[in-house]
Amino acid sequence: MAVEVVMPKLGMSMKEGTVSVWNKKVGEAVEKGESIASINSEKIEMEIESPANGTVLDIKVSEGEGVPPGTVICQIGNENEQTPESQTKQPDSPKERIKISPAARKIAQSANIDIKMLKGTGPGGRITKADVLQALPGRPNKQAAKAEAEERPPASPMRKTIAARMTESLQNSAQLTITMKADITKLTALQKQLNETAQSRYDTKLTITDFAARAAVFSLLDHPAMNSVYQDGRLATFEHVHLGVAAALDEGLAVPVIRHAERLPLIELAKKIKWYAKKAREGRLLHDEIEGSTFTITNLGAYGVEHFTPILNPPETGILGVGQMYSAPVYQDGELTKGAILPLSLTFDHRALDGAPAAAFLSDVKNYLEDPASILL
């Protein structure tokens, strides 16, 4: 007598199971414990084993069809044994069985892809998830993707250099970024006053970058550990400040170096920053003008960025990021008034110094900016 194989209940919440793949056809012999089909319900998938030796007499549920638990999906019996259904009608001609994984079938159904048009690359020609994904509309095939990649122009020499240095920086240092905000209300007022003289006497203007650079130089002299380099297990501090000032270019980034920045008054430092930025944009920087910096400052305020995470310019220990100034209410002389706030971001190499001295350095930068008279002397 034929043995019925039913859809098992794979969980208390299971309401329907789907036959993913039939591993046997009608008329094929099976042994007890041999896998005859794969079924799945939600995230659960399992193999259905034959409950007895015999022959597959009838398959009642097609691949991809979902039925409730307890539904008879096939019958196993003796060869030539007829089931009640087969006694009253001739069996349908067997359909060509398409082997496809459950995940692949689900994706194909949701994308309305005819699995008969797919060529399986899995074992025995089984259609895999990758085969279906490759056939999704708008997805280029491997040959097209390869051709497209070959058509992409190579990166410029500058971009390759930047990529190599930034990768080296992140791989060879322990970088950490901390942030603070400086109240530069007094500084902006002083800037406006000084620029009248700077423009008429020196044909230049003082920018927030100039003041931040000056504050950084003073703070580096107060905190020599930030003006250092950690290499090969040794920590070397520098007596002089060779300040790198990042300059954005159309094709990348350049960091010209202002040597002995600690010797320059504010107006000379500002003129140097603008002069080197101009040379960088014109592509006239000499090799020794972009090497040997001990600390770098970068400003993304013009792009609307406030706090960010600057990447160290190796082998330096620190880099100061200046963000976009914004207005906020502040107390001045005991009264609430409209003030100007400048976001500051400091990335430092934790191998060279710890968080506390790094925070002390950034705090000093903040204090210098909030007391602008101190950086004029």
Instruction: Enumerate the domain spans of the chain.
Output: 3-97, 99-152, 158-375
Using the predicted structure, report yes or no on whether residue 211 has a pLDDT greater than 70.
yes
* Domain 99-152, CATH: 4.10.320.10
- The string of DSSP codes covering 26-66 is TT-EE-TT-EEEEEEETTEEEEEEPSSSEEEEEE-S-TT-E
Using the predicted structure, report yes or no on whether residue 92 has a pLDDT greater than 50.
no
* Domain 158-375, CATH: 3.30.559.10
Using the predicted structure, report yes or no on whether residue 223 has a pLDDT greater than 50.
yes
Q: Residue 22: which residues within 8 A CB-CB, separation 6 or more?
A: 36, 37, 59, 63, 97
Q: Which CATH class is domain 3-97?
A: mainly beta
279-291 core/surface letters (b: 16 or more CB in 10 A; e: else): bbeeeebeeebbe
- The label of the residue with tokens 């193999």 reads 47
The whole-chain average pLDDT of the chain stands at: 87
pLDDT in tens, 113-147: 888 888 888 776 878 888 888 888 766 556 555 65
Q: Alpha helices, DSSP H only, in 65-207?
A: 84-88, 102-110, 129-134, 142-151, 157-171, 185-202
The reply to whether domains 3-97 and 158-375 share a CATH topology is: no
Evaluate whether 119 touches 111 at the Cβ level (below 8 Å): no
Using the predicted structure, report yes or no on whether residue 335 has a pLDDT greater than 70.
yes
Res 96: pLDDT: 58
Res 226: pLDDT: 98
pLDDT band, residue 65 (cuts 50/70/90): confident
Res 346: pLDDT: 98
Two structure tokens written together for 206: 């003082």
Using the predicted structure, report yes or no on whether residue 41 has a pLDDT greater than 80.
no
Using the predicted structure, report yes or no on whether residue 93 has a pLDDT greater than 50.
no
Res 175: pLDDT: 96
By annotation, the residues acting in catalysis are 350, 354
Q: How many residues does the chain have?
A: 377
Q: Determine what percent of the chain is predicted with pLDDT higher than 90.
A: 54
Cis amide linkage into residue 314, ω under 30° from 0: no
Which pTM was predicted?
Answer: 0.61
**pLDDT mean over 345-351:** 97
